[in-house]
Amino acid sequence: MKEKSVINITDGAAIPLKKDPGLFSAWRIAFFGSLSVLAYLLLSRPKPYVDILKFLPDGILVTFQVTFCSIFFALFLGLITGIGRISRNRLINAIASTYVEVVRGIPLLVQLFYIYYALGRFVRVPDIVAAVIAMSFCYGAYMGEVFRAGIESIDKGQMEAARSLGFNPSQSMFYVILPQAWRTILPPVGNEFIALLKDTSLVSILAVADLLRRGREFASETFTYFETYTLIALIYLLITLILSKLVSIMEERLRYYERH
């Protein structure tokens, strides 16, 4: 039987799996340590920390809006790109491969500037729409490689078996291959989701009122730069740690279902 492939993702958060006791312990130290520091700051110095916290909720909401919209479109682009990357049609394969190489070769910050400012010379789009387009376009390339690796991890005999049952290539891909590949794809997709959430801090340069932008506004008005950025860092860390734990739980459950 063909050994199941493992998709290694180098970006994003470290996922605290029980098989890695050091990392699992580090997650608990970081999470409860962050909560303790946050609670201490809010109780010992309500001014300015409580005031900062009251100023940030709408920025946190915008951060999640950009993240969820971007990951939705990135998954769609990633699926198309991943299928294109394994296509036997040389033109489709070349287009998908070129998209991946070009996007991965340009920093996300440059892509944000290009879509908002350079293309804005011809078509002006709202700042949050430009942010979602840039994030989706960038992460779609990374998702494409995740989908490609996941699809290629499925034994080729599965496709042949589906074709022998009368399925055409598209039906075989969507009804047989992708449902099996999804178990391999899901953990790295969760990892990329966390990485995307962290990268949304870059959209503040487009005047999107995300968490970082709101923090900058508060700091510029009150000159409490140290306190503001300390609190923002703690919030980002806590969100990332919570999401990485959810991905860990998801991955452990997938492994449990595979064993049983």
Domain membership of residue 152 (yes or no) is yes
Predicted confidence band at 4 (pLDDT cuts at 50, 70, 90)? very low
Read off the CATH number of the domain in which 164 is found.
Answer: 1.10.3720.10
What would the two tokens of residue 141 be? 């390339």
Q: Which domain holds residue 252?
A: 21-259
What would the two tokens of residue 257 be? 């279902």
Domain membership of residue 203 (yes or no) is yes
Q: Report the distance separating Cα 202 and Cα 197, nearest Å.
A: 10
Helices then strands, each counted (H, E), the chain: 11, 0
Count structural domains, the chain. 1
Whether residue 16 has a cis bond before it, omega within 30° of 0: no
Predicted confidence band at 158 (pLDDT cuts at 50, 70, 90)? confident
Residue % of the chain over a pLDDT of 70: 89
Mean pLDDT score of the chain: 86
Q: What is the pTM of this model?
A: 0.84
Domain membership of residue 13 (yes or no) is no
Q: Which of 76-85, 97-106, 121-130 has the lowest mean pLDDT?
A: 121-130
Domain membership of residue 16 (yes or no) is no
Domain membership of residue 132 (yes or no) is yes
**What's the pLDDT tens digit per position in 25-34?**
788 899 999 9
Domain membership of residue 3 (yes or no) is no
Domain membership of residue 78 (yes or no) is yes
Domain membership of residue 168 (yes or no) is yes
DSSP per position, 196-212: HHHHGGGGGGGT---HH
